[in-house]
Amino acid sequence: MKTWVECEYSYVPVEMVYPNSFNTNHMKAGEYEKLKSDLVQKGVEGFPPILVTPRGDKFMIVDGEHRWRAAVELGCLKIKAEIVHLNDEEAKVECFKRNYQRGWINYFKAAELFWKEKQNGMTIREIAEKYSLSTYTVDSIIRFSKFPPDLKELIVSVNDESEELSEQGFKFTFRHLVALSKLPVERMMDFAEWFQSDRISGPLAEKEVAVFLIKQHLLGVLDEKKREGVIFPKVAEMLKTIFQRNPALYSEEKIQALIDVGDEKRQETLAKRLFLEEMGERFSLYSIAPTINNKVPKNNSFFSFKCNCGRVYKVHGRIVDALEKWDTPPTKTIEIRPEHLGKKLYINYADMVYYFE
């Protein structure tokens, strides 16, 4: 924390103090109530002084806005203050640094602060040097400004309600926000709700988003190749299914090898050899998509799902094949756990031969 060569301590009337417009501090409601309780117990004399700088006949707060607000609400007439002489830029930097060091940062307020600096002509590097941050941190925080309002509200609400770094509570961390910022805006909320419901950690969130973006890129490449007519539609759909499950199988060389084959049947055969064999002999593109509604199909067909515990679940569903559609699904008993009901179930090739040949 910076110490000042020229400063003075004084008791300043609360009505002569006002908050600044660039404070990025965030304090939870519970923390604020505890702050007020401490002020009641210790009194103004026993409370840490706020940091202010003169502006005309009043004082602008540099650090300690919540302490000042608590004093006003409790009816205190004066508050202890450390008075320093700073210009607006110096005050802005000191305010941010103090809050950042304490970990009391609202990243969306920080994004607004840095965005304004950027609009005023500063580069990312200059902003980073000014606030003693890395260029990565500054660039990441600025990206948070594109979050839609409902997503910002969700993140702030969840973090306010979570217990401080408890094992049970979930909290959106900086790494969660970085991961979300890389997504298309229309997918941000879906991922945020998933992170919250499954308590996905920050590092895992970054990994999941990276995999999603890779898959989206690969699917876009396949769509482009299909539009160009160099990959046949049936083969393109098969490859999409493969890359959705394992994007690491993508290879420019293998895609080019497919493009060099002009015949659809030969291209399909080559695609299976190049990609399916790497998945192992027990892999297939077949899947069963069960449903859990009570509507009985016209053919009255259903699947009996037998759990490992011995229970049997009868479920109406359909069989989907990425290469060929099954019109009439047969009735079979399949080993499956109850939590798979209502979800897509992938069945390997050997099982498909056993159950459906």
Does residue 131 form part of some domain? no
Distance between CA 157 and CA 171 in Å, rounded?
10
Whole-model pTM: value is 0.69
Last residue within a domain, chosen from 105, 133, 159: 105
Please indicate, yes or no, if residue 127 is contained in any of the structural domains. Answer: no
Cβ atoms 19, 61 nearer than 8 A: yes
Q: Which of 6-15, 160-169, 180-189, 270-279 has the highest mean pLDDT?
A: 180-189
Q: How far apart are CA 181 and CA 295, in angstroms?
A: 41
Reply yes or no on whether the pLDDT at 6 is more than 50: yes
DSSP one-letter code for 282: T
Same domain, 23 and 95: yes
Residues 347 and 293 in one domain: yes
142 within some domain: no
Name the token pair of 50: 């706020």
Do both 94 and 19 map to the same domain? yes
Q: What are the pLDDT digits (tens) for 270-310?
A: 887 887 666 554 444 444 444 444 444 444 455 554 444 44
* Residue where one domain finishes, among candidates 249, 279, 309: 279
Structural domain boundaries, residue 343: 286-356
Specify the number of domains making up the chain. 4
Q: What is the pLDDT of residues 104-131, one digit of tens each?
A: 789 999 999 999 999 999 999 999 999 9
> Do residues 4 and 100 share a domain?
yes
245, part of any domain:
yes
Task: Indicate whether 116 belongs to any domain.
Answer: no
185 and 162 co-located in one domain: yes
Q: Which of 8-22, 114-128, 306-320 has the highest mean pLDDT?
A: 114-128
| Tokens linked to 132 | 């003693």
Q: Is 313 a domain residue?
A: yes
